[in-house]
Structure 1
């Protein structure tokens, strides 16, 4: 299956009656997110010199803020399975900017993202503050990425990758790019590392377009945020934590990528099949 950004996103008109609701939700969401960011930055001034790469305090703040943000946004979080406790990384399908709130609310994770995200207004600031690892999509930097991942994993960070390499319209799981799994097979990591596949499945309020929560292609973030906040009924997102995969049990990155993709796609399909 191929995927192209030439597929037109849904065009949604916001009724005048919903603008007061949008205003209230924005007035609650903005202080929560940016106030939490200010507190997090202040705590990092103490955390960094005391603990270095380790972050024993601030991830709990991030998790609490994201849980409250989902309530304000109007998105119910349903978690199936449990986040692993073994050292390693998480791989998940990627549908929307909402994934940041959803996955942080469920587990204390650190995202791995393309480097251009760091320059995005709003999202980039939040990503940098919460410890996102930014990488360049250039094979010449692969050795540097491996060292960076190893340092973060040995510090106890649970890294979260989106192996699809892009976001989708929330209705499908795209093929996983095996190159993102290469770093897990370094001798320093392979023998102790585990990978946990996670399926993310969004269910819009009844009667709404199935792609409502998807954010892809050239969609404008601000416009999409307003559409999400305008919803009269709550939507739901299912997070399915699958059994972890032992990296050492796989001969190469391609086989590991296939196993992770299969688990994510099966969980995604099952979550949608069970939806009312």
Structure 2
């Protein structure tokens, strides 16, 4: 398992007043209804979709996308994107700052996340991940060939895979060095010439008056308190996705070179937007 990134300075304490708890109740009820109501519909549709289409999912990803788009409306957060989605088969890689990344990246593009195997057993989240077609992997070299075959089957079925090469989440103000392990799967003979990778910068803009890392989720911060803080916020900020030019795997000699280029594009996108918003820094 990758080590968890931590900051030298502790996050702001979560303080929720009476009005904040009212927002928690209202938004929480709406968000829960949206997410788990959408899950119920997805599972019902999948009962028909799976025997007819197998690995293909022509309908259910649209349900996931609808839920994720509307989650930001429930939270009151702004959502914006820049750049074109790649039409080619392959994968998407992005920096990782928060659990909100899952909603943001699903809202713009129908993708299937690649996640560590432990997530499958997490209460609630594991069920959502399994239902939406997440690919679970073990960080075990002995399983590398099997996992590469899983990637190949999913890509050949037309799925766009998405993973976070940093291996952990941060405060949203930096990009950690990209780990290269998962990039190796795209260099197999039957995928190398047909696969593309699209880097994406995920950028959070904090609510007015709050610290820049407001939406970041890192270290030993627990999910529950971060969720409550987000639901309780009187003013919300926004999330922005910047889609960079897709990279053809065959144009790179190896996984390390490809990972380094993806990391560079994602970092430049994040740094450029943060600098534009804070020109005095």
| TM-score normalised over the length of structure 1 | 0.97
Render the CA deviation track for 1:136-160: whole Å, top value 9, x for unaligned: 0111111011100000000010000
Equivalent of residue 264 in structure 1, options 247, 260, 266: 266
Superposition pairs of residues 9-48 of structure 1, within 5 angstroms: 9-48=11-50
- Measured in 2, the distance between the counterparts of 1:166 and 1:4 equals 6
- How far is the alpha carbon of 1:29 from its aligned partner? 0.6
Superposition pairs of residues 18-167 of structure 1, within 5 angstroms: 18-167=20-169
Is this contact kept in 2: 1:25–1:229, CA < 8 A? Answer: yes
SS in 2 for 1:238: strand
Render the CA deviation track for 1:35-66: whole Å, top value 9, x for unaligned: 00000001110011111101000000100010
2:184 equivalent in structure 1: 182
- Measured in 2, the distance between the counterparts of 1:145 and 1:167 equals 23
How many residues align structurally? Answer: 275
Superposition pairs of residues 235-254 of structure 1, within 5 angstroms: 235-254=237-256
Q: Which runs of 5+ in 1 are unaligned?
A: none
- How far is the alpha carbon of 1:76 from its aligned partner? 0.9
- How far is the alpha carbon of 1:275 from its aligned partner? 2.5
- Measured in 1, the distance between the counterparts of 2:277 and 2:15 equals 26
| TM-score normalised over the length of structure 2 | 0.95
Residue 218 of structure 1 pairs with residue 220 of structure 2: yes
Is this contact kept in 1: 2:14–2:225, CA < 8 A? Answer: no
- How far is the alpha carbon of 1:214 from its aligned partner? 1.0
- How far is the alpha carbon of 1:12 from its aligned partner? 2.1
- Measured in 2, the distance between the counterparts of 1:42 and 1:55 equals 13
Q: Which runs of 5+ in 2 are unaligned?
A: none
- Measured in 2, the distance between the counterparts of 1:135 and 1:4 equals 20
SS in 1 for 2:96: coil
- How far is the alpha carbon of 1:6 from its aligned partner? 6.1
SS in 2 for 1:198: strand
1:206 equivalent in structure 2: 208
Is this contact kept in 2: 1:40–1:61, CA < 8 A? Answer: yes
- Measured in 2, the distance between the counterparts of 1:10 and 1:125 equals 31
- Measured in 1, the distance between the counterparts of 2:261 and 2:152 equals 22
Is this contact kept in 1: 2:116–2:136, CA < 8 A? Answer: yes
Superposition pairs of residues 220-235 of structure 1, within 5 angstroms: 220-235=222-237
SS in 1 for 2:203: strand
- Measured in 1, the distance between the counterparts of 2:107 and 2:227 equals 18
- How far is the alpha carbon of 1:3 from its aligned partner? 7.6
1:5 equivalent in structure 2: 6
2:277 equivalent in structure 1: 275
SS in 2 for 1:176: coil
CA RMSD of aligned residues (A): 1.3
- How far is the alpha carbon of 1:217 from its aligned partner? 2.0
- Measured in 2, the distance between the counterparts of 1:13 and 1:81 equals 37
